[in-house]
Amino acid sequence: MSRNKVKIKFECYEDEPIVQQAKSLNPAKLKIVKMKPTAMSAEEFSDIMEKSNLTQEVYAEELCISQGYISLLRNGYPISEDIAQSAKDILIKYTKPKRKEIK
């Protein structure tokens, strides 16, 4: 199974738990592995991430889009399940289309 690697800039708020955890464990660049969203191409995913109107920059050098579970990697090694879950939650939060609120 081939992997499409996409260079992107992943941004999130500085006070997000994943940012604090990542800073304490790995001040260097992070690598995130994520399952490919079924109805979204790598280019569309990258475009959404780049257009996020957020503040603190966290660089994901490579977003490897493949089938498999999501984990946050530090120099090629898994960190921990809770941090992987936080990374998954943030990626899901920022890639879901925003719903329009009816007032």
Q: For the chain, list the strands marked E by DSSP.
A: 4-6, 10-11, 30-35, 57-58, 60-66, 71-74, 77-78
Q: Which residue has the higher pLDDT, 17 or 53?
A: 17
Is residue 2 a contact partner of residue 48, using CB atoms and an 8 Å limit?
no
Q: Which residue has the higher pLDDT, 89 or 58?
A: 89
pLDDT value at position 72? 39
pLDDT value at position 50? 60
| 19 vs 41: CA distance, rounded Å | 26
Helical H segments across 52-96, by residue range: 81-95
Query: Average pLDDT, stretch 78-102?
Result: 57
- The pTM (predicted TM-score) of the whole model is 0.24
pLDDT digits (tens, 9 = 90+) for 33-45: 333 333 445 565 5
